[in-house]
Amino acid sequence: MTSTAGVPPVAPEPVVDGETSRRRGWGWLLLVPGMLWLAVFFLFPTVQLVFTSLYDPSGSYETGYAMTWHFGNYADAVRDNFTLFVRSFMYAGIATVICLSLGYPLAYAIAFKAGRWKNFMLVLVIAPFFTSFLLRTLSWRTILSDQGPVTSFLQTIAVLPDDGRLLATPVAVIAGLVYNFMPFMTLPLYASLDKVDYRLIEAAGDLYSSPLTGFRRVTFPLSLPGVVSGTLLTFIPACGDYINAELLGTPKQYMVGNRIQAAFLTEHNYPLAASLSIILMAVVVLMVVFYVRRAGTEELV
């Protein structure tokens, strides 16, 4: 990063320092159009959302809202929707762990075991996800339905009681989350594992480490950047998702996203929707920062 410090600011001279050819000068201008887009359409609305969350809650969509710096909105939002928040983070967390345990073997297999089928398998990883995710979630609704094959199979082998069901339970919602966010886990994991020098893993075996120890001490630590970005890319969208809860669950499985959506689009209760959004965003960002610190990786994505 700082290795360019010694390079004089006269740009066109090719930099001899082989690693980086970062130049000073007017290059940052390339950043301006994109940054403007982010400032106008992301930062500004987010700040505005903070203001909206402090409006007087006694106003309404028709009469308008008065700005009263009503911080009590946050307390109300948390008090009334505490279970929704807990449920959202729990569902998203469980889904992320399951995604990791399914995605890791898959990414590992593609990176090290697929041989010349590597690229073909990679294509297969993304191919299903080019079809509309609503259609895919609706097919899960059919597959997991009470007369569906999975339910009857589980009833036959007595895992599920005869009147037991999958659809409209937390299991179905979490399964939907797992399914829909799989590629966000698998692809970063693959990218990370693919960079690992397989000779290091073999060396661990040569030095008499059991495959398990070799994995724990060599492979897994080397793939950690992929684990971090994969879990983040799965957990963040899963926290705010409301489609899986809506299509595969019932109001008993609703997540905070359902509440925000309803408060905004049907009830027009903007202060509530805004304070819920800000809380959700703040908690997610805090969790991400804490997690990234703990995992000890520098690059976020």
Q: Which of 125/160 has CB closer to other proteins?
A: 125
Q: How many residues in the shown chain lie near other proteins by CB under 8 A?
A: 101
d(Cα 234, Cα 291) in Å, to the nearest integer? 14
d(Cα 283, Cα 290) in Å, to the nearest integer? 10
Of the ranges 76-84, 152-160, 161-169, 269-277, which one interacts with other proteins (CB under 8 A)? 269-277
Of the ranges 32-40, 66-74, 75-83, 157-165, which one interacts with other proteins (CB under 8 A)? 32-40
Q: Residue 268: left if φ>0, alpha if ψ -120 to 50, beta else—which one?
A: left
Of the ranges 26-34, 72-80, 151-159, 165-173, which one interacts with other proteins (CB under 8 A)? 26-34
Of the ranges 22-30, 70-78, 166-174, 220-228, which one interacts with other proteins (CB under 8 A)? 22-30
Cβ atoms of 270 and 59 closer than 8 Å? no
Q: Report the nearest approach of other proteins to the CB of residue 180 (Å).
A: 10
Burial label, 125 (beta-carbon count in 10 A; 0-12, 13-18, 19+): middle
d(Cα 269, Cα 221) in Å, to the nearest integer? 47
Amino acid at the residue 10? V
Binder of other proteins out of 94, 97, 100, 102 (CB under 8 A): 102
Binder of other proteins out of 10, 135, 158, 159 (CB under 8 A): 135
Cβ atoms of 21 and 13 closer than 8 Å? no
Q: Which of 141/169 has CB closer to other proteins?
A: 141
Per CB under 8 A, 35 contacts other proteins: yes
Per CB under 8 A, 136 contacts other proteins: yes
Query: Which residues, numbered 148-177, are part of the site for other proteins (CB under 8 A)?
Result: none
Give the Cβ contact number of residue 189 at 10 Å.
Answer: 27
Per CB under 8 A, 86 contacts other proteins: no
Binder of other proteins out of 6, 8, 10, 34 (CB under 8 A): 34
Per CB under 8 A, 66 contacts other proteins: no
Buried b (16+ CB within 10 A) or exposed e, 143-170: ebbeebebbeeebeeeebeeeebbbbbb
Per CB under 8 A, 213 contacts other proteins: no
Q: Which of 75/286 has CB closer to other proteins?
A: 286
Binder of other proteins out of 6, 8, 10, 29 (CB under 8 A): 29
Give the Cβ contact number of residue 100 at 10 Å.
Answer: 17
Per CB under 8 A, 12 contacts other proteins: yes
Helix 72-108 with 224-240: angle, nearest 10 deg: 140
